Amino acid sequence: MTIAARRLSYSNNGMDRQTFANSLQQISDQLRWVDQKLTMQVDNEIVDAFYSQQKKINKIQANINHVK
């Protein structure tokens, strides 16, 4: 990101490069945090669905074995 910030020219109405680079870094950190949180939620949903299906399969297998 600092490479991109170095290429920017200073504007009279804008902000300096360091402030801009810091802002981009903060946004990047926030996006990384949101991505990690979303990934964990999706992983948890997948694990919960897997164990729910596994429990149903085991219950059906137990019923089948009981009928035999």
Among 5-9, 36-40, 42-46, 58-62, the range scoring the smallest mean pLDDT is 5-9
pLDDT at 48: 98
Closest CA to 43 of 35, 53, 55: 35
Domain range holding 41? 28-68
Whether 19 maps to a domain, the answer reads no
- The verdict on residue 3 lying in a domain is no
Domain contains 23: no
Does 5 fall in a domain? Answer: no
Structural domain contains residue 18: no
pLDDT, tens digit, for every residue of 15-47? 888 899 999 999 999 999 999 999 999 999 999
Which H or E run contains 10?
A: none
Residues 16 and 10 sit within 8 Å (Cβ to Cβ): yes
> Model pTM?
0.62
11 falls within a domain: no
Give Cβ neighbours of residue 20 (< 8 Å, ≥ 6 apart).
Answer: 5, 8, 14
Query: Long-range contacts: 36-43, Cβ < 8 Å, 24+?
Result: none
Domain count, the chain: 1
